[in-house]
Amino acid sequence: MKISSIRNDFPVFEKNKNLTYLDSAATALKPKQVIDSVVQYYSEYPSNVFRGLYPLSQRATEAYEKAREKVAQFIHAHSPSEIIFTRGTTESINFIAYAWGRLNIHSNDEIVTTIMEHHSNFVPWQELVRENGAVLKVIDIDDSNKDSLFRIEKTVFSKITTNKTKLVAITHVSNVLGTINPIKEIIAGVKRINPHCLVLVDGAQAVPHMSVDVQDLGCDFYVFSGHKMMGPTGIGVLWIRKELLEIIPPFHFGGSMIEKVTLEESRYAPPPQKFEAGTPHISGAIGLGAAIDYMNTIGVTNIQKHEMALTEYTLKRLNDFGSITMYCPQIVRHRGGVLSFNLYDSENHLIHPHDVGDVLGLENICVRAGHHCAMPLATRLGIPASVRVSLHIYNDKKDIDRLIEGLEKVRKIFK
């Protein structure tokens, strides 16, 4: 697998010859195969879905539903009917909070989450317990030793879960630490203690980089975004276990999700249509399907192997650089390709991450600087912010070498 040939698939590199893009955790670059699929939809069959009997509309409907089938196969769902298209991970989680949470979680019930969650998997539950008097339990990271650094121990969930726990909401891969949580073992432990407790997994940083089997994991909800896996922005996925599809009410109401409307009542279409009111993001779904095709062509296993090797190289270069504090597991098998750190000057003063990001940006090196939509975690770590490097299949060692050169320049400027 030649990374140089893969980079040729991404038009952004043609327009930016000196680009070092290390911010894929925010959004991944788009290959021309994805871009072409979106352009083709708007150029050749830009019709609405499920409405027209004419060929253009039928072609659009077929392409839209084919994308749903691709998603189902990609995450090993039981059926395409379990796949609901949303605007992204954030909307998917809010969907569950509103459509299921407000009907099933009441005063004194418990929701369990972790300190490493993205705001989208923390704030909705915080708001829910504020409204209904439920209890939000937050599990801390384990930083007691180097081997367990920044991980969530699977046994903790078994200890904190009770017969009052209605939901466990946890990230598969941390968008700050890069930690891969032992999701399958965590879920098994939770279900042993409370078989009625449901589990939601935020897979936004997992699905783009590793093989995911929702049936094998044993979760009840799994959510992720298309734009982080080289698909279009504004398209996301909510997977709901088939046994729950009928008992969860719609989140939005309007066209397409209706089977029959009378003056007295409305009857909803079967899933997944009952959850997708109005005109959906048709081009986004088609582009997501093309992104899945692209990832399958390379091979998800190959993507993960490449990123693991590059992560190991990045860890070594950053550790050798010195005057850096890392906020991520050092053992590659415990982590994905997300690395957060802070840089210090010769007198051990913090060089603010925003300054680091600005200087690197002037060198056309793209990193993220901030709290990464995880302020509780930043507070837990005792830092105002951090610099985040995140990798994908189009990155190579040359990108990391340029990063180190950029950090050298930062250090000289803030000497």
Phi, psi (rounded to 5 degrees) for 59: -65, -40
Q: Which amino acid is at 258?
A: I
Exactly one of 197, 328, 366, 373 is catalytic; which is it?
A: 373
Unique residue bearing structure tokens 């043609």: 14
Judge whether 219 counts as a catalytic residue.
no
CB 80 within 8 A of CB 66: no
Phi, psi (rounded to 5 degrees) for 267: -120, 130
Cα 26 from Cα 48, distance rounded (Å): 30
Q: Is 1 exposed, middle or buried (0-12, 13-18, 19+ CB in 10 A)?
A: exposed
Q: Which amino acid is at 238?
A: L
Beta bridge partners of 341: 326, 387
Beta bridge partners of 139: 114
By annotation, the residues acting in catalysis are 373
